[in-house]
Amino acid sequence: MTPFYPLVIGIIHRLVPAIDIETTARLVSFAGATTAVIALYWLLRGRYSLRFSFAATLLFALVAAAMWSGLWALSEGLYLGLVMLGIAVLFRMQHRSWLSAGLGGFLLGLAYLTRPEANLFVAGLIALFFIKARRGPKTALLILAGFPLVALPYHAWVYRVTGYAGSGRMNILLGQSQSLYEGDLSRAFLLDEVRPDGSTVSSLARK
């Protein structure tokens, strides 16, 4: 599916083999969720008072998705941390530099390699900066430069291995979202199918 979350887990487990894989995954998720909280505070503190920034960050930290994603052995915690850090880098300064725009795009690219729905954030940010006057288009182009820097090599590898440019993860997520919206939970979960060659393919459950 998407490689960054298991890659980070694998690197940490290789460096600290005494920690089992599941614990390592939970630690990565916790670090990601914690990064999201810190990034939000850093973003708000650059524009608002200490009291407002602290109160807003506390409310965000107590939201179930933000709090519990740090305890799951799933990619949500790391994804949330990368998205919030990327947005904070892009918006904290009143006057953006080319470095902050490129770094923000790079962080959102890593978020995309964690969960593919991050491309929706990137599309929205690019549209926002193109609409804005003066330096907006330049910022959008720098985000476009940072994002593909990490996204394109992944898609090139997927195409070389499978013959398709995408992994199909986005189609699965859209199908799950539609199932949840329609209240049909029967297609909201993935089933693993083992092929004759031993490979495993995940697909949505069907009635």
Looking at this protein, which amino acid is placed at residue 58? L
Residues found in the chain:
207
Name the CA dihedral angle for 121, 109, 171, 84, rounded to a multiple of 10 degrees: -40
- Tens of each residue's pLDDT in the chain, 207 residues: 678 999 999 999 999 999 999 899 999 999 998 999 999 999 999 888 999 999 999 988 887 555 666 677 888 889 999 999 999 998 887 666 778 888 888 999 999 999 888 888 788 877 777 776 555 566 667 776 777 788 888 878 777 877 766 655 555 555 555 555 565 655 545 444 545 555 545 554 454
| Residue 203 DSSP class | E
- Phi then psi for 194, rounded to 5 degrees? -90, 120
Say what the pTM is.
0.75
**Contacts of 190 by beta carbon, 8 Å cutoff, 6+ apart:** 172, 202, 203, 204, 205
Closest CA to 87 of 16, 36, 152: 36
Closest CA to 190 of 34, 103, 74, 37: 74
The token duo for 142 is 């720098």
- CA pair distance 91, 171, nearest whole angstrom: 30
Please tell me the number of Cα atoms within 13 Å of 192 on its side-chain side: 5
Rg (CA), the chain: 19
First to last CA, the chain: 24
